């Protein structure tokens, strides 16, 4: 990456971090970002969504199994296939001390939380109506943003992760449509 482009990404990262700073001292957003980050670990939120949807309507059991299986494939591709090519350091080693989070072991780029969140939102939108689709993407945005708020990712990490996850979600939907 050339120097000019690198500086633009650094400026974006800094600006986004500064925008989130007031939320780091507000108890409701501290709770929200702690919770979102924890639920984003291993795609837990999306597995819970699949289970809740299946319990509410037993015809969705197959969808829950498909979603969880696809989440495993997405995670493998991002964490073992893409992340190893980038050795980007995280903004902090353990995250902001105002938050209680699990310390990640992989590269900061791209954000796996953002990727899995947008992947799941795209896949779930295949089986959902308007209000639910809005909810899936709201959850995805909150999970992705939480990673910058807790200072374990740069903004550019979550934007890249969201784009990768959404693209993989579109591919998964195409595969599902052909079955």
Domain residue limits, the chain: 27-178
Distance between CA atoms of 91 and 113, rounded to whole angstroms? 16
CB-CB contact of 96 with 90 (8 Å): no
pLDDT the model gives residue 35: 95
Distance between CA atoms of 173 and 175, rounded to whole angstroms? 5
Query: Structure pTM?
Result: 0.94
Confidence of residue 50 (pLDDT cuts 50, 70, 90): very high
Computed over every residue of the chain, the mean pLDDT equals 93
Architecture of domain 27-178: Up-down Bundle (1.20)
Tokens of 44: 């837990």
Higher pLDDT, 158 or 94: 158
């Amino acid at each position: 990456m050339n120097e000019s482009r690198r500086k633009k990404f650094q400026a974006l990262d800094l600006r986004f971090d500064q925008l989130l700073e007031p939320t780091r001292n507000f108890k409701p957003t501290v709770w929200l970002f702690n919770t979102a980050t924890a639920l984003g670990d291993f795609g837990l939120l999306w597995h819970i969504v699949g289970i809740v949807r299946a319990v509410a309507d037993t015809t969705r059991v197959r969808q829950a199994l498909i979603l969880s299986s696809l989440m495993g494939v997405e995670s493998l591709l991002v964490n073992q296939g893409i992340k190893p090519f980038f050795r980007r350091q995280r903004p902090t080693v353990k995250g902001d001390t105002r938050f209680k989070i699990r310390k990640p072991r992989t590269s900061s780029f791209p954000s796996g939380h953002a990727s899995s969140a947008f992947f799941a939102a795209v896949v779930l939108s295949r089986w959902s109506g308007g209000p639910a689709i809005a909810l899936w993407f709201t959850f995805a945005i909150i999970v992705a943003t939480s990673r910058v708020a807790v200072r374990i990712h740069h903004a550019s990490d979550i934007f890249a992760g969201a784009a990768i996850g959404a693209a993989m979600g579109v591919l998964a939907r195409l595969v599902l449509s052909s079955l």
